[in-house]
Amino acid sequence: MLKLKTFIDKLQLDYKRATRWRLKNQAQFIRRLCVLIQEGYLFAQAVSMLLPHHVEKHEEVQQFVDEALRQGKGVIGVFETLQLAKHHLVAIAIAENNGHMIEALNAVAKQMILSQETKNKLIKLLFYPVVLIMFLCLLFLVFRTFFFPNIEKMVTSRTTETDEQASIAISKLLLHVPDALVLMVIVISCCSIICQRLLSRQSIARQLHIFLKLPFVHPYFRLTITKQFSAYLGSLLQSGLSLQASLQILEEQQFQPYVQYLASRIKERVTFGDTLTQAVIFLTVWHNDFATFVEHGEQSGYLGRELSLDSDLLLEKQEHLLQRMLAFVQPTFFVLIALCIVAAYVSLLLPIYQMIELV
């Protein structure tokens, strides 16, 4: 009974976090927060002013925010309370160290807007094909439940030859094509969830090794991890921190385990006397030309600026790659829909063709 009560309490807590305590329009909240801070409001005051406009049960959330501030958790603790995604919290944690909080918050808001636009575009692209596939599944179900049995009786009542029986069997099989496609999507989704759970139990080094071996995944993964590491390390270096101090900050943060692991490995090499270029070449996780950017930055003395520039270039490549992926999604669904329609025509024409031959 105690375990059941604990489970129910956890479900209720998760429900409140997902609904009543959830921060709505996070990008807009962060942009308004930047404006208020620039106008001279303290961080705590600005958050208190904005919460009623973005949270349903803002009184309860305000209590959690006040408690986080009393415990000295700072800006990062407040945003954890407001349930910001962990990959956004890294930039805010770095801003607490380099003092560029306004710039970091604006960058986070921009990233949120980009992610939301991509998500909305994906939903818009998938809405019509998914509705059409559902309609086809319903149509196939009605056809094979009410109409096809009558056609089957008409054909079988006039002949008992094996060819006619085979055509009926093929038609029945073709009428289950939408079911097979839906089942395939469900199986792939379930396998993906299981693989993700199993992967999360592996060490970070093992996860990196697996991602770098996956076809179609490793180019995007290399691009993403290099972009993040370049942006974080470049921001810290541009603020005046030393290389080892910057790597120490990235190693101590808990929000991005991949960045934390890579910073730890590079810090080991740098501590033993290697340059950053040598340490980067030692790891094979990076996107193309990353070592070249690092080497040029070390030679010119503007390593932080070079890394930030590399991050901006990789961000543009990432946006372009996402656009290409989105452009590929809708045609794939329409090909599947075309297969279903062809299967419907063939399953209908085979019995009719047999009936014409019998006449």
> CA 222, CA 309: separation in Å to the nearest integer?
17
Q: How far apart are CA 227 and CA 310, in angstroms?
A: 7
pLDDT for 226 equals 92
Q: How far apart are CA 18 and CA 10, in angstroms?
A: 12
d(CA 231, CA 16): 34
Tens-digit pLDDT string for the chain (359 aa): 556 666 666 666 666 666 667 888 888 888 998 888 888 888 888 888 888 888 888 788 888 888 888 888 888 888 888 888 888 888 888 888 777 788 888 888 888 888 888 888 888 888 888 888 888 878 877 877 777 777 767 766 665 555 556 667 777 777 777 778 888 888 988 998 898 888 888 888 898 888 888 888 888 899 999 998 998 888 888 888 888 888 888 888 888 899 999 999 999 988 888 888 888 888 888 988 888 888 888 888 888 888 888 888 888 888 888 888 878 877 888 888 888 888 777 777 777 776 666 55
In the prediction, which pLDDT does 266 show?
92
Q: At what angle do helices 101-142 and 303-358 cross, to 10 degrees?
A: 10
Q: What was the pLDDT predicted at 180?
A: 82
Q: Please choose, from the candidates 175, 104, 107, the residue with its C-alpha nearest in 3D space to the C-alpha of residue 138.
A: 175
Nearest to 286 by CA among 231, 228, 230, 222: 222
Nearest 5°: CA angle at 55, between 51 and 60? Answer: 80
Q: Could you give the C-alpha distances from 188 to 9, 181, 274, 334, 356, in angstroms and in order?
A: 32, 11, 45, 19, 42
Distance between CA atoms of residues 308 and 235, nearest Å: 7
C-alpha–C-alpha distance, residues 137 and 181, integer Å: 10
- Give the number of other CB atoms < 10 A from CB of residue 60: 13
Q: What is the pLDDT of residue 89?
A: 84
Q: What is the reported pLDDT for 262?
A: 92
- Using alpha carbons only, give the angle 347, 348, 351 rounded to the nearest 5 degrees: 90
Q: Answer left, alpha or beta for residue 42, where phi above 0 means left and psi between -120 and 50 means alpha.
A: beta
Name the packing angle between helices 101-142 and 26-38 (round to 10°): 170
C-alpha distances out from residue 77 to 49, 59, 73, 96, 337, Å: 18, 18, 5, 11, 48
- CB hemisphere CA count around 7 (13 angstroms): 4
In Å, how far are 126, 281, 316, 351 from 114, measured between CA atoms? Answer: 18, 31, 12, 52
What is the per-residue pLDDT for 264? 92
- Count CB neighbours of 173 within 10 A: 12
For tokens 């927060």, the residue is 33
- Is 234 within 8 Å of 250 (Cβ atoms)? no
* Residues 311, 230 contacting (CB under 8 angstroms): yes
CA 26, CA 50: separation in Å to the nearest integer? 11
Query: What is the Cα–Cα distance from 154 to 146, expressed in whole angstroms?
Result: 14
